[in-house]
């Protein structure tokens, strides 16, 4: 009897399992019909996780497209991976590319499908004017067409230690707005015992590219390279010489500290060592987490003598999403990509990303939505980056840069700066040497991409 | 009569050779051929446009004053690393070979660093030497010494030399120790009885008998300093400040991977290949004559 009952149970279980399978089958079939989109990004944690959450939200919001996001290392590594994959005929559908890779991507011709073209072909509605002008300009071709989808953008601002300001007898609610004020503040901070009144992250982005934009002074000829591949560096004009010499002198006097290349100096501010830092607005979340002192955010200072009608808008950094081609792409895949992009361009998605991460909103609507939600009242200073980006209409010097191999040029300038900070050369020599070496890089890029 | 090993089948010797030939073809000849092909072409990053440019990449690299500076840095770096790594290893091996308490423990500890990946070792060094977060770096600054390898080229170079040598000491140590233990005790004892002191015994007996080991390590260490120190430099200084710690191999990476200049980078690889082949040939031709094989 017992065995028979067992047998019956087993049979029942088997039938139930078979039924379950049958019920699951249509679902499995539809999963197979989903169009799969590969998306490579270069954001480490926690930002990478937040980006993947957005991708997941998109995947859950509809049933036709499955976007697979994968982390490919730092921005330059992601770029390398995408280039190598393209050479092997296996490019991902979408790749996140940092802003200095823009010119390389634009020159890539058949390797890239411009976003405006993608949206046109797939019949998606896409309005480039929804984007903040400084963002739109950076990723637009010469004739004003959007080549990539802007996503995570930042800009350079100043963070300062309010406790250190208090200690030095400075008004903690009145950060220096100009460079002369900046030098005065640094002197007082030093007198009060600070070993590092000022440092800068991203030395070239913050002290050269932004400097040129704010003072409406070209970084390179040909409208900073927007006009064509023949651009040459122009960073030895009086503004740059004065600025770099000021930094060298401040370094000698213990008012400024060179903290290393790229974002290496980031750590110097939250640790409390440096009282002021010029850094990416994206540093905000780290300061929030690590700093155990009162701090504030302010726009970058400017030179009144070089900005007679006030400072202009700053330029962006960060990254955008590029659509890559491959021999085996189907129209359905492009359609899926455009669906994903339409989702990303929504103001709600933009505003949420901005509030979650500290990147700036890239659309005007996203900025307004954030304001309307009262976010800036609750987080004073969080609107500084967006306000600085939008404070004036863009000029041809504040649209951004379109120079080939810009990462290499940044390194060259950093190397020459380091030699100057070691006392081996003065500002003029450092800038002249940077121009000579930088122009050689630009000519190489021109030669390799002229065809 | 000479005994000759013969194979029954004509095919068998080729079959036995095949794996080695395949490995050489796939991992050396093929990439080397690609490098040579790339070095005479000018290409955009995506490989869409490619143009044959003869030796333009070579003239460009060789006429760059920064390249010659890098070459100079590489020579200083390689010689310093080789001398330091071999000198320290020999000293330690001689000490560990003598009859002391706990010699086994010392030997084991001395071999440990070799098991460490270069990048990991470099990160450890950074935690020691970083002027802001490193223990030793902070101590130096506390004593009023202006230690900052991010801005002082000499300090940076000294640091990467130290880090790169430290990594190689273990390897050299094992070989020197083995070499020392192969020296017959009787020879040493005879010298002692004849009244030779430790220093004289070392220079007239130990050192000459160690020369095959020393020569082997010289070649290996030179190649190590040229090619395998990339991880250390990349993690510690990225070639900076300025170009103070940029070696040839680091620049190959920088130009090829970071700057997307495959032609220039390949031209440098080819130059590097020629240098190392020449160096090894010179070492075998001239230095080896002085080597005394027991």
**B146 Cβ under 8 Å from any chain A Cβ:** no
Burial class (CB in 10 A: 0-12, 13-18, 19+), A224: buried
In a domain, B111, yes or no: yes
Q: In terms of Cα–Cα distance, which of A370, A426, A169, A411 is closest to A275?
A: A169
Q: Do B260 and A104 touch (CB under 8 A)?
A: yes
In a domain, B6, yes or no: no
Domain count, chain B: 1
3-state secondary structure of A298: strand
**CATH 3.40.190.10 spans which residues of chain A?**
30-154+317-373, 156-314+395-449
**According to CATH, what is the number of the domain A156-314+395-449?**
3.40.190.10
Q: In terms of Cα–Cα distance, which of A356, A357, A379, A355 is closest to A367?
A: A355
Token pair listed for A395: 């000029």
Please answer whether residues A380 and B231 qualify as being in contact, where contact means their C-beta atoms are separated by less than 8 angstroms. no
Per-residue pLDDT of chain B (294 residues; tens, 9 = 90+): 566 777 778 888 899 999 999 999 999 899 999 999 999 998 888 888 888 888 989 998 898 888 999 999 999 999 999 999 999 999 999 888 877 788 788 888 888 888 888 778 888 888 898 887 888 888 988 888 888 888 888 999 999 999 999 989 999 999 999 999 888 888 888 988 998 888 888 888 888 889 888 988 998 898 899 888 898 898 888 887 888 999 999 999 988 888 888 899 999 999 998 988 888 888 778 776 666 665
Distance from CA of B112 to the nearest CA of A (A): 30
Nearest CA in chain A to B239: A415
**Confidence bin at A139 (pLDDT 50/70/90):** very high
* Residues of chain A above pLDDT 70, percent: 93
**A407 Cβ under 8 Å from any chain B Cβ:** yes
What are the tens digits of pLDDT across the range A344-384?
Answer: 999 999 999 999 888 999 999 999 999 999 999 998 889 99
Q: Residue B242: left (phi > 0), alpha (psi -120 to 50), or beta?
A: left
Q: What is the DSSP string of B131-176?
A: TTT-HHHHHHHHTT----TTT-HHHHHHHHHHHHHHHHHHHHHHHH
Distance from CA of A20 to the nearest CA of B (A): 49
Domain, as residue range, for B255? 17-290
**Confidence bin at A171 (pLDDT 50/70/90):** very high
Mean pLDDT, chain A, rounded, equals: 89
**Confidence bin at A4 (pLDDT 50/70/90):** low
* Residues of chain A above pLDDT 90, percent: 71
3-state secondary structure of A301: coil
Distance of CA A64 to the CA centre of its chain: 30
CB atoms within 10 A of CB A447: 17
Q: Which residue has the tokens 């997941």?
A: A56
CA angle A173, A174, A178 (to 5 degrees): 155
Enter the pTM of the model.
Answer: 0.82
Sequence-distant (6+) residues with CB within 8 A of A280 are A154, A155, A156, A201, A202, A263, A317
pLDDT of residue A14: 52
Sequence-distant (6+) residues with CB within 8 A of A229 are A107, A404, A442, A445, A446, A449, A450
Q: Do A405 and B153 touch (CB under 8 A)?
A: no
Q: Do B45 and A271 touch (CB under 8 A)?
A: no
Q: Do B259 and A408 touch (CB under 8 A)?
A: yes
CA angle B189, B191, B194 (to 5 degrees): 110
Q: In terms of Cα–Cα distance, which of A450, A431, A78 is closest to A247?
A: A431
Alpha carbon distance B257, A369 (integer Å): 41
State the helix-helix crossing angle for B262-282 and B30-39, rounded to 10 degrees.
120
Nearest CA in chain B to A447: B42
What is the CATH topology of the domain spanning A30-154+317-373? Answer: D-Maltodextrin-Binding Protein; domain 2 (3.40.190)
**A447 Cβ under 8 Å from any chain B Cβ:** yes
Distance from CA of B70 to the nearest CA of A (A): 13
Residues paired with residue A295 on neighbouring β-strands, in sequence order = A161
Please answer whether residues A97 and A320 qualify as being in contact, where contact means their C-beta atoms are separated by less than 8 angstroms. yes
Q: Which residue has the tokens 């000029």?
A: A395
In a domain, B1, yes or no: no
Task: Give a three-class secondary structure readout of A353-418.
Answer: HHHHHCCECCEHHHHHHHHHCCHHHHCCCCCHHHHHHHCCCCCCCCCCCCCCCHHHHHHHHHHHHH
The dihedrals phi and psi of A337, each to the nearest 5 degrees, come to -60, -45
Please answer whether residues A398 and A213 qualify as being in contact, where contact means their C-beta atoms are separated by less than 8 angstroms. yes
Q: What is the DSSP string of A214-280?
A: HTT--SBHHHHTTT-TT--B-TTSHHHHHHHHHHHHHHHTTSEE---STTGGGGGTTTTSEEEEEEE
Q: In terms of Cα–Cα distance, which of A441, A346, A327, A298 is closest to A126?
A: A346
Q: What number is the average pLDDT over the span A397-418? A: 91
**Confidence bin at A282 (pLDDT 50/70/90):** confident
Max distance between CA atoms of chain A, in angstroms, equals: 102
DSSP classification of residue A329: -
**B51 Cβ under 8 Å from any chain A Cβ:** yes
Please answer whether residues A427 and A248 qualify as being in contact, where contact means their C-beta atoms are separated by less than 8 angstroms. yes
Q: What number is the average pLDDT over the span A214-226? A: 94
Among B148, B260, B261, most A C-beta atoms within 10 A, so best to mutate, is B260
**Confidence bin at A117 (pLDDT 50/70/90):** very high
**A109 Cβ under 8 Å from any chain B Cβ:** yes
State the helix-helix crossing angle for A331-344 and A47-61, rounded to 10 degrees.
110
Helix (H) or strand (E) holding A198: strand A196-200
DSSP classification of residue A146: B
pLDDT of residue A22: 46
Bigger pLDDT: B2 or A343?
Answer: A343
Q: Supply the CATH number for residue B63's domain.
A: 1.10.3720.10
Alpha carbon distance A262, A245 (integer Å): 20
Q: How far is CA A346 from CA A131, A196, A352, in A?
A: 11, 42, 10
Residues paired with residue B52 on neighbouring β-strands, in sequence order = B41
Q: How far is CA A312 from CA A391, B105, B279, in A?
A: 7, 67, 57
pLDDT of residue B3: 65
Q: What is the DSSP string of A306-323?
A: G-TT-------EEEEEEE
In a domain, B12, yes or no: no
In a domain, B4, yes or no: no
Q: What number is the average pLDDT over the span A248-260? A: 94
Token pair listed for B91: 């000293």
What are the tens digits of pLDDT across the range A60-88?
Answer: 999 999 999 999 988 888 998 999 899 88
The dihedrals phi and psi of A131, each to the nearest 5 degrees, come to -85, 150
Q: Do A437 and B66 touch (CB under 8 A)?
A: yes
Please answer whether residues A116 and A146 qualify as being in contact, where contact means their C-beta atoms are separated by less than 8 angstroms. yes
What are the tens digits of pLDDT across the range A174-192?
Answer: 999 999 999 999 999 999 9
Q: Do A422 and B241 touch (CB under 8 A)?
A: yes
Sequence-distant (6+) residues with CB within 8 A of A376 are A370, A382, A383
Residue among A418, A424, A441 whose CB faces B240 most closely: A418
In a domain, B5, yes or no: no
CA dihedral (B21, B26, B31, B34) positive or negative: positive
């Amino acid at each position: 009897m017992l065995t028979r009952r067992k047998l019956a149970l087993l049979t029942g279980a088997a039938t139930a399992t078979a039924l379950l399978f049958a019920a699951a089958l249509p679902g499995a079939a539809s999963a197979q019909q989903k169009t799969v989109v590969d998306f490579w990004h270069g954001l480490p944690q926690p930002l990478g996780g937040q980006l993947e959450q957005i991708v997941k939200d998109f995947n859950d919001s509809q049933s036709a497209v499955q976007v697979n996001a994968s982390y490919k290392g730092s921005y330059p590594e992601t770029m390398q991976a995408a280039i190598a994959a393209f050479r092997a005929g296996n490019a991902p559908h979408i790749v996140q590319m940092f802003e200095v890779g823009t010119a390389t991507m634009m020159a890539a011709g058949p390797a890239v499908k411009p976003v405006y073209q993608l949206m046109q072909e797939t019949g998606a509605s896409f309005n480039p004017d929804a984007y903040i002008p400084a963002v739109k300009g950076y990723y637009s071709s010469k004739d004003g067409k959007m080549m990539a989808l802007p996503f995570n953008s930042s800009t350079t601002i100043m963070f300062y230690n309010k406790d250190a300001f208090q200690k030095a007898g400075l008004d903690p609610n009145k950060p220096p707005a100009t460079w002369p004020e900046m030098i005065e503040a640094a002197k007082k901070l030093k007198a009060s015992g600070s070993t590092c009144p000022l440092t800068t992250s991203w030395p070239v982005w913050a002290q050269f590219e932004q400097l040129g934009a704010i003072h409406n002074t070209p970084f390179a000829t040909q409208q900073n390279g927007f006009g064509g591949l023949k651009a040459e560096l122009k960073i030895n004009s009086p503004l740059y010489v004065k600025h770099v010499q000021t930094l060298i002198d401040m370094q000698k006097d213990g008012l400024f500290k060179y903290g290393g290349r790229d974002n290496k100096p980031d750590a110097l501010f939250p640790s409390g060592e440096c009282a002021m830092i010029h850094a990416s607005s994206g540093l905000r979340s780290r300061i929030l987490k690590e700093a155990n002192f009162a701090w504030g955010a302010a726009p970058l200072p400017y030179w009144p003598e070089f900005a007679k009608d006030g400072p202009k808008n700053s330029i962006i950094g960060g990254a955008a999403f590029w659509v890559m081609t491959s021999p085996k792409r189907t129209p359905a895949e492009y359609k899926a990509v455009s669906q994903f992009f339409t989702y990303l361009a929504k103001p709600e998605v933009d505003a949420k990303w901005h509030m979650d991460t500290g990147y700036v909103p890239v659309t005007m609507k996203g900025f307004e939505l954030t304001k309307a939600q009262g976010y800036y009242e609750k987080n004073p200073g969080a609107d500084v980056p967006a306000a600085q980006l939008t404070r004036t209409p863009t000029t041809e010097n504040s649209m951004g840069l379109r120079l080939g191999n810009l990462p290499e040029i940044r390194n060259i300038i950093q190397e020459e700066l380091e030699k100057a900070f070691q006392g081996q050369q003065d500002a003029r020599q450092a800038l002249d040497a940077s121009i000579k070496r930088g122009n050689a890089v630009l000519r190489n890029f021109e030669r390799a991409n002229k065809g | 009569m000479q005994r000759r090993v013969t194979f029954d089948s004509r095919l068998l010797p080729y079959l036995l050779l095949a794996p080695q030939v395949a490995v050489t073809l796939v991992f050396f000849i093929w990439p080397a051929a690609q490098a040579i092909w790339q070095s005479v072409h000018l290409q955009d990053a995506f490989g869409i446009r490619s143009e044959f440019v003869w030796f333009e990449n070579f003239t460009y690299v060789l006429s760059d004053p920064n390249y010659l500076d890098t070459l100079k840095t590489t020579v200083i770096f390689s010689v310093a690393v080789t001398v330091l790594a071999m000198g320290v290893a020999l000293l330690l091996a001689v000490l560990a070979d003598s009859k002391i308490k706990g010699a086994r423990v010392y030997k084991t500890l001395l071999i440990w660093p070799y098991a460490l990946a270069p990048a990991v070792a470099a990160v450890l060094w950074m935690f020691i030497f970083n002027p802001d977060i490193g223990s030793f770096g902070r101590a130096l600054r506390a004593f009023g010494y202006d230690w900052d390898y991010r801005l002082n080229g000499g300090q940076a170079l000294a640091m990467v030399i130290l880090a790169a040598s430290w990594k190689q000491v273990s390897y050299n140590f094992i070989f020197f120790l083995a070499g020392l233990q192969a020296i017959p005790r009787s020879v040493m004892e005879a010298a002692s009885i004849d009244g030779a002191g430790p220093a004289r015994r070392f220079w007239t007996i130990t050192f000459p008998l160690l020369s095959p080991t020393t020569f082997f390590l010289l070649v290996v260490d030179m190649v190590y300093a040229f090619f395998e120190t990339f991880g250390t430099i990349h993690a510690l200084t990225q070639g900076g400040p300025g170009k103070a710690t940029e070696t040839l191999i680091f620049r190959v990476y920088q130009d090829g991977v970071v700057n997307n200049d495959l032609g220039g980078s390949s031209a440098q690889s080819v130059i590097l290949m020629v240098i190392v082949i020449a160096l090894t040939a010179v070492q075998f031709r001239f230095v080896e004559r002085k080597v005394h094989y027991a």
